[in-house]
Structure 1
């Protein structure tokens, strides 16, 4: 990722932080609407899970300038998700829900350049998670 793309992701995420609760609601509402089969992978009470989502996003976004430091945590997340029943196919739905949430939360600030930077960020991190999950399953 280029420094410009990293800056776009980090700057736009700072705009999401004040509406983190709403953003998490939008994310999970969209995920469960488009991929209802994943709902059973989550607890009935989503409050803690929504907090974890925002926390992990913050760690990932803030760590983009030092990927080597966050890769072990991202790999661990991928391995844990495999244990929860997440499949590599689910990552596309999660990425789409993330971009939807950002679009809703950022409004006009969600420009095509910001969207592309987030899509690249998600693809990078999801790729690390999937590889770790597949390696753990092998």
Structure 2
């Protein structure tokens, strides 16, 4: 991730914050549409789950300029998700649902450059998380 990509991710996420509840609803709706096999993994209140998602995204996005500060928590979260039944293959539809949500939620503000920055950022972070939870071979 470049400094410019981090700036794009952070500035675009700032526009998501005011629509966080709607964005979370869009995200999970899309995730369950493209990966229905993950729906049974979510047993709790989806509104609360959406708030947790947006809070976690906010912390990660806010820490991108000091990624070393957030990586231990991201790695721990990845390992915790294994216990919920999450597999390495689930990271792909999560990323796709995230990008789709940003496109829908931000409209014209989600430029090609912002899209590319988010894809790069998600790829880097999910790669670290997959490697931590499932081994480096799974992240390749």
TM range (shorter): over 0.9
TM-score using structure 1 length: 0.95
* Runs (5+) with no aligned partner, structure 1: none
Q: Which residue in 2 is equivalent to 1:104?
A: 104
Distance in 1 (CA, whole Å) between partners of 2:132 and 2:52 is 20
Distance in 1 (CA, whole Å) between partners of 2:59 and 2:44 is 25
Runs of 4+ aligned residues of structure 1 deviating over 3 Å after TM superposition are none
Q: Which residue in 2 is equivalent to 1:45?
A: 45
Distance in 2 (CA, whole Å) between partners of 1:74 and 1:128 is 8
Q: Which residue in 2 is equivalent to 1:22?
A: 22
* Runs (5+) with no aligned partner, structure 2: 136-140
Aligned pairs, number: 135
For 1:5-60, what per-residue CA distance to the aligned partner results, in whole angstroms no more than 9, with x for missing partners? 00000000000000000000000000001110100000252121111100110011
Q: Which residue in 2 is equivalent to 1:118?
A: 118
Q: 87-96 vs 36-45, which deviates more?
A: 36-45
Distance in 1 (CA, whole Å) between partners of 2:36 and 2:126 is 20
